[in-house]
A = this chain, B = another copy of it.
Amino acid sequence: MPRARDVAARAGVSTATVSHVLNGTRRVEGETRERVLAAVQALDYRPNMVARSLRAKSTRTIGLVVSKLELPYYTEIAAAVEGTAWRRGYNVVLCNSDESLEKEMLYADVLLAKQVDGLIVAPVRGDHSYLRPHLERGARIVFVNRYLDDVAVPAVVCDDEGATFRLTSRLLGDGHRRLGAVLGLSGVSTTERRLAGFRRALREFDAPTAEPWLFPGDARRDGGIAAGHALAAMDDPPTAIVAFNTLLVDGVLLGLLERAPHLLTRIEVTGFGISPVARICRTARYTLDPPTRELGEVAATRLLDAIETNQPLTPDRVLLRSEIVDFDPPPDGRPDGRSHLIALGRPRG
């Protein structure tokens, strides 16, 4: 691996000149400049960024720690963060805490030790005071998707409460009276805020509600399947279900299919996120579209802005609005758009 010194020797100049030519950081006479460039070409010289980082105290790299990389929700956030970072000349090292506080901590520690310029974290549940020493040393950290009350870190999150309120209200306005919810992982702000919004809508509409209609879903598809099974076993199940994420929507549908396929047409399964299944199978008329990409983009933008302006981050919360999207009415639906049936099934071989 050629070093700046090798280039300098070949061009008959000092390493300082090589550096300045490459970085355009001071005037270099044309002829000298040419010689340097020629030497760079000849040796196919590429500056060692680790050395540069050590000097510059900047790695142009940020860290992203998500709590469940397997979930499409987080991979979308990751893609958005990566895209934003790319546009601004940064790289991102991707980490998966897998809902483990210990892994999150280990990741945060090693990333900061590797001198990333900043960190975006979707925090797991639990005590995050381990972040405090890092913050005191000026580490730049932004939370994404979830927020925490016990530590002064800015967060970019959905309007979980309001969005769930609006969705639930619409279901109630459309005549549903018996609503159920399939909850995400307990103990995190998203689930709690969504549940709060769900409950507020029920209160405002004076709708009946009962604990059995709250299904713990735990963010994996299996949780949704269990909820679907539970629904199938009920004498008088709810007519609409608000699932707290896309995988749960799929799970509920799958669970119903397994145990009580006739209910698929009788229970409107909707929720947070556009499930391709729900979209294609039309098991709901509308759903929430969380601003997943924006979550990543805004979090990355806030972080990178703070880094580049060398300003501290203020620990405030940015709420991004989730809109309700209507699925297109099916082409052969009845004019009123209700109770459309499609026959689906196994084709004959």
The answer, yes or no, to whether A261 is at the interface (CB within 8 Å) is: yes
Could you tell me which residues of chain A, from 78 to 109, have a CB within 8 Å of some CB in chain B?
78-79, 82-83, 86, 91-96, 103, 109
Knowing A277-B280, A343-B343, say if A44 contacts B133 (CB, 8 Å).
yes
Q: In chain A, residues 1-24, which have Cβ atoms closer than 8 Å to a Cβ of chain B?
A: 1
Residues in B neighbouring A250, C-beta threshold 8 A: 276, 280
Known: A257-B342, A342-B261. A59 touches B69 (CB 8 A): no
Chain B residues whose C-beta falls within 8 Å of the C-beta of A82 in the assembled complex: 69, 94-96
How far apart are A345's CB and chain B's nearest CB, in angstroms? 4
> A114 contacts B50, CB within 8 Å?
yes
**List of B residues within 8 angstroms of A259 by Cβ:** 331
A81, closest chain B residue (CB) = B94
Interface string of A221-256 (1 = CB under 8 A from B): 000000000000000000110000000001001100
- A266 and B344 CA atoms in complex are apart in Å by 9
Q: Please encode chain A, from 167 to 179, with 1 for each CB lying within 8 Å of some chain B CB and 0 for all others.
A: 0000100111000
Asked if A302 lies at the interface with its beta carbon under 8 angstroms from chain B, I say no
By a CB distance below 8 angstroms, the chain B residues around A115 are 48-50
**Interface segment, A25-33, A208-216, A332-340?**
A332-340
Q: Is the CB of B83 within 8 A of A96?
A: yes
Q: Smallest CB–CB gap between A259 and chain B, Å? A: 7
Complex contact A349–B174 (CB within 8 A) = yes
* A283 is an interface residue with CB less than 8 A from chain B: yes
A285 at the interface (CB under 8 A from B): yes
Which chain B residues border A261 with CB–CB below 8 Å? 330-332, 342-343
* In the A-B complex, the 3 residue pairs with the closest CB atoms: A75-B75, A174-B349, A341-B345
